[in-house]
Amino acid sequence: MKITKNQLSFLLFFSLCFYFVQCSSSKGMERERSMKYSYDEAEESVSSAASPSPKPENTPSEPKAQKRMMIYSVNVNLQSKEIESKVTEIIKLAESYGGYALQYSSNGVVQLKIPAEKLKQFLFTLRNQSQNYSEEVSAKDVTEDYTDTEIRMENSLKMRVRLLEILKTAKTLEETLKVEAELNKVSESIERWEGRLKYLTNAIQLSSVQVQVRQKWEPVVQKEYKPGPLGYPFYYLYLGIGKVKDGLVWLFVQEIPKEKTEIPD
């Protein structure tokens, strides 16, 4: 079958039209798909902004309150029959709890250092082993003082590092002397803060206890004596002589009543 020129040109025209229609339809679908995707993404972004984001499970906890730093001092009064033996007993008791005696005297005054964590146990044991026991406990809060001293020491250490760096770059003798003078001042400050921290740490860890041991006086009991089997004759003889003595005194000496004298008005 032969195809004429007219038929061939018609087929070419028809195929070109079909091709353009297909391209336009595919572009429209892609445009609609892209618009749909963009709309969905915008809707998701709006919904995510409206709804609060979930909190992470492992959120950092709030900082814990700082532990208070306390210095405890205790005054104890007690009584004992023997002062020296009681003083020795108290020192041994303090050593059993990790403490020690700073000073003691023959008049019964003992100054002790007891670890703060064992202070209650020491006082409880001493109370149970003593008579007429009384105690007075006082406490001092040094938390702010300790924290302030730590901050000052850290700042002084940082300042010393900076001054050392400046000293390396000093070019003239005058600059070197000035930096070294400041270094001496900072070093003195560091030593002072270190000493203060050491003192506070020891005072917090070791509580001061002063014990006053007093002599316990007991009333003297009057004892009664009875004669033995061979002592009764002498006992009754002693009583008889006492009666005879009283009779002789009555015969020779008598009490004369005094006359009352009236006091003139």
Question: What is d(CA 15, CA 23) in angstroms, rounded to the nearest whole number?
Answer: 12
CB atoms inside a 10 Å sphere around CB 99: 20
**pLDDT tens profile 64-91:** 566 889 999 999 999 999 999 999 999 9
**pLDDT tens profile 195-242:** 999 999 999 999 999 999 998 876 666 666 666 766 667 666 777 777
**What share of the chain has pLDDT > 90, as a percent?**
49
**What share of the chain has pLDDT > 70, as a percent?**
59
**pLDDT at residue 174 greater than cutoff 80:** yes
Strand-by-strand arrangement of the 70-80 sheet? 100-104, 109-115, 206-215, 70-80, 131-141
Question: What is d(CA 119, CA 207) in angstroms, rounded to the nearest whole number?
Answer: 7
The DSSP call for residue 104 is: E
More confident residue, 168 or 96: 96
Q: How high is the pLDDT of residue 171?
A: 86
More confident residue, 104 or 4: 104
Mean pLDDT for 22-48 is: 45
**pLDDT tens profile 105-139:** 888 999 999 999 999 999 999 999 999 999 999 99
Q: How high is the pLDDT of residue 21?
A: 45
**Residue found by looking up tokens 């963009």 in the block:** 38
Q: How high is the pLDDT of residue 55?
A: 46
Residues paired with residue 65 on neighbouring β-strands, in sequence order: none
Q: How high is the pLDDT of residue 207?
A: 96
Mean pLDDT for 35-58 is: 44
pTM for the model stands at: 0.56
Nearest to 207 by CA among 97, 68, 71: 71
